[in-house]
Amino acid sequence: MNYNDIKPGQLISAYHKGFHRVISKELTDGGTCELVHYEQVITSNFTIPKYKAKYCCNVAFCTLITQEVIEAMKTKYLNGLKVLEKELRKDTV
């Protein structure tokens, strides 16, 4: 992910589990380290966290959440559930 593409307020996935809202960005080490500060808004289990933990990581670990990313996630998880259902049917036969 490009540091200049991320803006405060956007949703991202990052180094830490779950989905996060960007709070701020920071250049450190003379501009060589591009950090993104964020807070968790949805857990990895797709629930609202009781506490909005704040984190920071290098921009290289960030993915901007777009509608295209959400559609790809839907396809991946729905296909995974179909495979799981197929395996479950094998157990009951």
* Phi, then psi, of 51 in degrees rounded to 5: -130, 130
pLDDT at residue 41 in the model? 96
Which domain covers residue 29, as residue numbers? Answer: 3-92
Number of domains in the chain: 1
Position 29 confidence tier, pLDDT thresholds 50, 70, 90: confident
pLDDT digits (tens, 9 = 90+) for 34-71: 999 999 999 999 999 999 899 999 999 999 999 999 99
Q: Provide the CATH number for the domain around residue 78.
A: 2.30.30
Q: What are the distances in angstroms from CA 11 to CA 5, 37, 80, 87?
A: 12, 12, 24, 34
pLDDT digits (tens, 9 = 90+) for 81-92: 999 999 998 866
pLDDT at residue 31 in the model? 79
